[in-house]
Structure 1
Amino acid sequence: MNSIYQTGTQNSKNILYFYILLAIIFSDNSRAGFEKREKRRQIRKLQDAITAKDVSTVKEILEDDFDVDFQYRGQTALQQAVKEGQEEICKLLIDKGADIGACDAELNSLLHIACKSGYKDIAKLLINNNTDINALNDSNTTPISVCAFRGDKSIADLLIRENCDLNLKNLKGETPLVVATLQRHAEMVEFLIQSNCQIDLGDENNSNSMIYAAKLGFTEILQILIKHGAELNHKDRQGCTPLYHAVKEHQIDIIKEIIKYHSTAVSDKRIQLDTPSTKGMTPLLVAITNNCPDIANMLLDAGCDVDKRDRLQNSPIHVAVRQVSLVFGQEEEAMSVVKKIVQLGCDINVGEIEGKTPLILSAFAGNKELTELFLQKNADVTKCTTTGDTALHAACSSIKSNPEIVEMLVKAGCRVNDPNNNGEIPLFSALFNRADMRIIRGLVKNGSDLNYREKTNLLSPLHEAIIQNLTEAAIFLIDSGCDINKPNKQLQQPLYTACEKGNEKIVQYLLSSGKCQINGLVPTAIPLHVSMLNNHGRIVEILAKAGCNLNRINHKCLSPIMFAAEQNELAMAKILLKYGCDLNAQAKVKGMMKCCLMYPVDKHPHFELEPLFFAVTHKNRDMIDLFLHCYNDNPPYWVMQLLIKFLREISQLNAQMTPDQKKELIILFLKACKLPRSLQQICRGTIRETLGTLPQDKVIKLPLAEKLKDYILMKEIFIEEETKEEELSNEERDLGRFN
């Protein structure tokens, strides 16, 4: 019980002490708050009097003893007086002991404020009271820089008399002289120079007053700077001189002023006209690149080096030639620059970094006048680029495709059969770039090798013409006597390429020559197969009519009909069967083949390569019916029996076929196996096998009735294809009528 009582007494004492402590704290805070409020009241009253320019009230307030530097509204009374321009009040405050070193939030001193507002008397008052004349605000700007910005010589004179630092830089690296230049204060610029500031100091980019005056077109300031000995060839961090910047900014008056000093007769200062930037660009190159022919001619007249090259080895003549083809509506002015450079004796055979000479550039641009100019100056026509291209290659590659330039170059000695590094003669360049046919004819006329093959893929000109779909050029090359069977690196002949590209006209023209090898050289390059691969049905029919081997096995051990079945191309299969292909051709091949290694369990002919197997895997009922009708011999019963077993037992087919589909096919194959073919069908098959390919041409000679001929040709099956063929022929005839 006693312990409980003692504990309660102790808690009461602690609470009492807590309340006493709170009372003391609040008592102190209340006193401090009162004093602070009183100071604020006095300062507010003082600042109101300053705003009202009430000097007598200010004097009365200052008689009291209080903190004159107490801030109200974010400023001291002296700061407000300086901003208001109240010199007398400023004196009173300073005499009262106000802090003349006070700064605002941007670290602007009282002297900064006075200079900014142009309060000379206040500035003088502050200086006389030993304020820091080199004070820096948060952008490192000094009072003299503020004066330079405003062009205020009077306050600047006060600061200079007190030996302020004229060369202190702000955060951008700008000296007062640079600041005055940027603000175009010519008198201030001269005043600062006369006050012995450093005239050539640059900013963070090492751009000085001379560079800015040139860049901005401040001629008067430039003249002042030059008069006082500014460095004419000063470079910024990119190596650009005042002349460079004047040219870049098209400051013609500045350029005229600067180039006066290129002659030592005018001054002992000599401007260097050809000083390159870090990228090697000279003022002349900049003028030409920026399409300023007036400035370029001015610099050329002043004596610029016409062979000075940039980092990419471009000389003025290279840039000028390119410019002629780039500008629109000003070709004559751009041309005048080229002519002047040539007249001044530039090296017309020099190549840039890619080895392109002025002649090559003009030929590529398709500019006849320039090309003629360089040829008249005896330009070297044998010069090549780093890729081995001559001026003739360039002319044949030109977008403008000017046959007159090609003719001029050939007459000047350019050889039509000189290859480049890829083994391409100019004829290839003309074909690849789809040049004017007159150029192609001109090259052939002048002896271009029609059978020359380039290095990479061993393509002949005829190959290239077909690849570029240049039908007229391809026919011209054929008529000119090129080898129409010349193979490329993959042993693909021009006919193969034409079939691959689907160009019916070229295919027909090649076949009509009577010299074309229609079946290809190797199993990988069979024209018929590539036509089918690219779904060019018309070309397949053209090849079939021309007598190609419809049963040739390709590199995948597929005959054309097998290939059509594999690709699920019913239309292709009909064309092949119509013209007499053999559905059992693969079974008649003797000896070991690649497919025998791929399917070692299954003897040749292999079940998985059978046309019927492909048709079943594609669920193509029309194709299956077609094949069953078109076997010349008995259909392959062993294949159908395997297919029946396959359909009955392979469970994976459930995901591919419905039970009804499988049942339908099983019934079809069972009937085909059990029901014998009619005598009429057997006879037709025997006759068709005897006739072989192109039965249409052979059955006509048989002494049979027309109805029997139609039966042998299976017109009841192929009548739809013949109707389509007739419709297409009519369309071609109609198109020919209107073209």
Structure 2
Amino acid sequence: MNFRDRTQDNSRAGFEKREKRRQIRKLQDAITAKDVSTVKEILEDDFDVDFQYRGQTALQQAVKEGQEEICKLLIDKGADIGACDAELNSLLHIACKSGYEDIAKLLIKNNADINALNDFNTTPISVCALTGDKSIANLLIRENCDLNYKNLKGETPLVVATQQRHAEMVEFLIQSNCQTDLGDENNSNSMIYAAKLGFTEILQILIKHGAQLNHKDRQGCTPLYHAVKEHQIDIIKEIIKYHSTAVLDKRVQLDTPSTKGMTPLLVAITNNYPDIANMLLDAGCDVDKRDRLQNSPIHVAVRQVSLVFGQEEEAMSVVKKIVHLGCDINVGDMEGKTPLILSAFAGNKELTELFLKKNADVTKWTTTGDTALHAACSSIKSQPEIVEMLVKAGCRINDPNNNGEIPLFSALFNRADMRIIRGLVKNGSDLNYREKTNLLSPLHEAIIQNLTEAAIFLIESGCDINKPNKHLQQPLYTACEKGNEKIVQYLLSTGKCQINGLVSTAIPLHVAMLNNHGRIVEILAKAGCNLNKINHKCLSPIMFAAEQNELAMAKLLLKFGCDLNAQAKVKGMMKCCLMYPVDKHPHFELEPLFFAVTHKNQDMIDLFLHCYNDNPPYWVMQLLIKFLKEITQLNAQMTPDQKKELIVLFLKSCKLPRSLQQICRGRIRETLGTLPQEKVKKLPLAEKLKDYILMKEIFTEEETKEEELSNEERDLGRFN
């Protein structure tokens, strides 16, 4: 390990160095003690007066201590007048900062650099501007110092004095012929800082001496812009006062936009400064000057009314004043929104009425094709009175936007007040109009938005309840998909509803099952829908229930008379025949029993074996036995005991035929078809026999659950 060598240097050079340090230490101690006589005595010796001790020379210490007489003695001794500290501050910088006028005068007299720069490029005159010391500044100015030299931030002494609110220094610098309009790195000059910081006295001085009130910083912002943004009322009054009294070519440009196109008036309205906005309007600001996004003052003012809380009257007064001054009330912003459209969307009845009284054009539309009526129907506030006013003013009620949506669609999509929907229909809205994208009718839209009252109203008003959308899905399909029982029941009660859909991809029963809406499946079954209709995947409803492993749904379908063997009765080539070319129709892999086995659902298997109208398909059970014995992949899903149990079950079903009683029941059920409950009631049979035909030993549990559910619904209805 290396240690610092602390042994004393006994050489002559070492002795001399120690002697210098001793003398300087003694000298600096005398300066600290303000002991002039000791300083004089020490200075009589011959030694290096600029030798640094404690990081400074004796003269630097004397300047910091404000010891003028000692400074003079050191300078006479030959001390370096150009010495600087670690931040490159010269002796003159130090004297200026501390306000030592006599020392500054002494340094200047001895040729100190009056434009010396520290590491921030600050000159002594800038230091005086910072402290506000006019007397030292006067000394520097008499020696012709540079009054306009900028520091690293680009700030001149005038800018520095303004920032520090030294009004007398500002006037002194201007009287000494400094340049008044030089800006910093952002091109912000003294006028801008005075306006931004609210220094009215300094602003008045600058105006008096001819400084430019139209000067712009790098963002294009003028002093007036900054004063408005910072809510400097007194500054704004001064600028407007000067503007009103100045000759034409020297007036303030009140509407100078920033690089973003924002004028002082737009800034005042955007920041919710109604007092300033009214002052600027009275001063003659352009009421139609627009920003980069094509927003004019009236656009911004209308938006502001809906944004502020508790100050609506003040914001409204600005709108009224702009309108009174003759603004263009039909001008659109970048999106084509006029003041009328904005007020309608905001749900502001007073503003809408104001623009309509001023004959605003009700036929204007936005870039998306929306009219004022679309906007009113889309409003969160949902004001029926505004819709009524617009219709009376001539808004076309069936004009579509770019998406092909008429105002009725906007009202439904935005879940508007029912009074708006009723009003639109009353005034002739097209109930069967279909929008462009998905060809949805108003009834589709009402169902999608779960607006039960609106949907029933549209049906009662005479809309086409079978109008399909782009995918040939009718309103009943949509209601089944969304699980809206009330709308489903209402559609079916009209007697005009196509219950089985138009195409195999849009079958109401299938979509209700897909979304597990059991109650709707029951409603459809009771209404007489085709319980054996094959969908686009070649699945009947019972096959679909088996594929989805929905035992409750399968029971429901079988209860109402669906045919487990319906797929086998379909004739001709089908899509499934292309999917399973090796297997002839009906295909083994689509059999309900196959699905039940793959799901290991023993209850479903038992249900299916009991509910075939004929004997269970022999060929299917033979293949299932083979499937269970040979397919090794099943080992990961079933235990050997489970497989054995199923094999025994299927072998028993193959070997033991059904009883004559069971066969007769199956034939009767097949003959009865769907809804056997209603048909059995009419048969001249004993109640016990009727129960046997309806298989109540299997479906009793389901009926009990339904009865309990029905009772609960009734109780809930009474409570509500």
Q: Same fold (TM over 0.5)?
A: yes
* 2-structure distance, mates of 1:355, 1:385: 4
- How far residue 703 of structure 1 moved from its aligned partner, in angstroms, is 0.7
Could you give the per-residue CA deviations for residues 457-487 of structure 1, whole angstroms, max 9, x where no partner exists?
0000000000000000000000000000000
What is the root-mean-square deviation in Å for CA atoms of aligned residues? 1.7
Q: Which runs of 5+ in 1 are unaligned?
A: 1-23
* 1-structure distance, mates of 2:615, 2:124: 112
* 2-structure distance, mates of 1:267, 1:209: 24
* 1-structure distance, mates of 2:262, 2:472: 51
* 1-structure distance, mates of 2:173, 2:136: 12
- How far residue 731 of structure 1 moved from its aligned partner, in angstroms, is 1.2
* 2-structure distance, mates of 1:198, 1:578: 99
Q: Which position in structure 2 is the counterpart of 1:176? A: 157
- How far residue 732 of structure 1 moved from its aligned partner, in angstroms, is 1.2
- How far residue 39 of structure 1 moved from its aligned partner, in angstroms, is 1.3
Q: Which position in structure 1 is the counterpart of 2:144? A: 163
Q: Which position in structure 2 is the counterpart of 1:62? A: 43
- How far residue 37 of structure 1 moved from its aligned partner, in angstroms, is 1.8
From the superposition, tell whether residues 147 and 27 of structure 1 become closer, same or farther in structure 2 (CA, over 3 Å).
closer
Q: Which position in structure 2 is the counterpart of 1:440? A: 421
- How far residue 301 of structure 1 moved from its aligned partner, in angstroms, is 0.3
Cα pair 1:123 1:155 within 8 Å, conserved:
yes
**SS of the residue 2:415 aligns to:** coil
- How far residue 30 of structure 1 moved from its aligned partner, in angstroms, is 3.9
Cα pair 1:459 1:488 within 8 Å, conserved:
yes
**SS of the residue 1:529 aligns to:** helix
* 1-structure distance, mates of 2:663, 2:21: 126
- How far residue 455 of structure 1 moved from its aligned partner, in angstroms, is 0.2
* 1-structure distance, mates of 2:416, 2:475: 20
- How far residue 48 of structure 1 moved from its aligned partner, in angstroms, is 0.2
* 1-structure distance, mates of 2:367, 2:243: 38
Cα pair 1:261 1:269 within 8 Å, conserved:
no
- How far residue 261 of structure 1 moved from its aligned partner, in angstroms, is 2.5
* 2-structure distance, mates of 1:702, 1:27: 120
* 2-structure distance, mates of 1:123, 1:100: 11
Could you give the per-residue CA deviations for residues 100-154 of structure 1, whole angstroms, max 9, x where no partner exists?
1111011100000000000000000000111110111111111000000010000
**TM superposition score normalised by structure 2:** 0.98
* 2-structure distance, mates of 1:323, 1:630: 70
Could you give the per-residue CA deviations for residues 585-622 of structure 1, whole angstroms, max 9, x where no partner exists?
00000000000000000000000000000000000000
* 2-structure distance, mates of 1:217, 1:207: 15
Q: Which position in structure 2 is the counterpart of 1:143? A: 124
* 2-structure distance, mates of 1:684, 1:519: 28
**SS of the residue 1:359 aligns to:** helix
- How far residue 38 of structure 1 moved from its aligned partner, in angstroms, is 1.6
**SS of the residue 1:25 aligns to:** coil
- How far residue 26 of structure 1 moved from its aligned partner, in angstroms, is 16
From the superposition, tell whether residues 428 and 331 of structure 1 become closer, same or farther in structure 2 (CA, over 3 Å).
same
Cα pair 2:615 2:657 within 8 Å, conserved:
no
* 1-structure distance, mates of 2:367, 2:551: 53
Could you give the per-residue CA deviations for residues 529-583 of structure 1, whole angstroms, max 9, x where no partner exists?
0001111111111111110000000000000000000000001000000000000
- How far residue 691 of structure 1 moved from its aligned partner, in angstroms, is 0.1
Could you give the per-residue CA deviations for residues 607-650 of structure 1, whole angstroms, max 9, x where no partner exists?
00000000000000000000000000111111111110111111
Cα pair 1:46 1:77 within 8 Å, conserved:
yes
**SS of the residue 1:27 aligns to:** coil
* 1-structure distance, mates of 2:62, 2:618: 118
- How far residue 652 of structure 1 moved from its aligned partner, in angstroms, is 1.3
From the superposition, tell whether residues 681 and 373 of structure 1 become closer, same or farther in structure 2 (CA, over 3 Å).
same
Cα pair 1:118 1:152 within 8 Å, conserved:
yes
Could you give the per-residue CA deviations for residues 278-333 of structure 1, whole angstroms, max 9, x where no partner exists?
00000000000000110000000000000000000000000000000000011111
From the superposition, tell whether residues 268 and 583 of structure 1 become closer, same or farther in structure 2 (CA, over 3 Å).
closer
**SS of the residue 1:634 aligns to:** coil
* 1-structure distance, mates of 2:83, 2:623: 107
Cα pair 1:491 1:525 within 8 Å, conserved:
yes
* 1-structure distance, mates of 2:25, 2:248: 65
- How far residue 63 of structure 1 moved from its aligned partner, in angstroms, is 1.0
Q: Which position in structure 2 is the counterpart of 1:25? A: 2
* 1-structure distance, mates of 2:644, 2:690: 37
Cα pair 1:261 1:267 within 8 Å, conserved:
no
Could you give the per-residue CA deviations for residues 152-174 of structure 1, whole angstroms, max 9, x where no partner exists?
00000000000000001111110
Cα pair 2:269 2:277 within 8 Å, conserved:
yes
**TM superposition score normalised by structure 1:** 0.96
Could you give the per-residue CA deviations for residues 384-438 of structure 1, whole angstroms, max 9, x where no partner exists?
0000000000000000000000000000000110000000000000000000000
From the superposition, tell whether residues 374 and 27 of structure 1 become closer, same or farther in structure 2 (CA, over 3 Å).
closer
- How far residue 34 of structure 1 moved from its aligned partner, in angstroms, is 2.5
Q: Which position in structure 1 is the counterpart of 2:71? A: 90
From the superposition, tell whether residues 30 and 720 of structure 1 become closer, same or farther in structure 2 (CA, over 3 Å).
farther
- How far residue 736 of structure 1 moved from its aligned partner, in angstroms, is 1.1
- How far residue 263 of structure 1 moved from its aligned partner, in angstroms, is 2.9
The 10-residue stretch of structure 1 (103-112 or 37-46) with the greater mean CA deviation from structure 2: 37-46
From the superposition, tell whether residues 265 and 102 of structure 1 become closer, same or farther in structure 2 (CA, over 3 Å).
closer
- Given the alignment, which residue of 350, 354, 371 partners 1:369? 350
From the superposition, tell whether residues 661 and 99 of structure 1 become closer, same or farther in structure 2 (CA, over 3 Å).
same
Q: Which runs of 5+ in 2 are unaligned?
A: none
* 2-structure distance, mates of 1:337, 1:55: 73
- How far residue 651 of structure 1 moved from its aligned partner, in angstroms, is 1.2
Across the two proteins, how many residue pairs are aligned to each other? Answer: 716
- How far residue 27 of structure 1 moved from its aligned partner, in angstroms, is 17
Q: Which position in structure 2 is the counterpart of 1:518? A: 499
* 1-structure distance, mates of 2:704, 2:50: 109
**SS of the residue 2:458 aligns to:** helix
* 2-structure distance, mates of 1:681, 1:33: 127
Q: After superposition, where does 1:251-650 map in structure 2 within 5 Å?
A: 251-263=232-244, 269-650=250-631
The 10-residue stretch of structure 1 (140-149 or 34-43) with the greater mean CA deviation from structure 2: 34-43
* 2-structure distance, mates of 1:532, 1:103: 90
- How far residue 268 of structure 1 moved from its aligned partner, in angstroms, is 6.2
Cα pair 1:260 1:266 within 8 Å, conserved:
no
- How far residue 33 of structure 1 moved from its aligned partner, in angstroms, is 2.8
Seq. identity, %: 94
Cα pair 2:287 2:327 within 8 Å, conserved:
yes
- How far residue 265 of structure 1 moved from its aligned partner, in angstroms, is 5.3
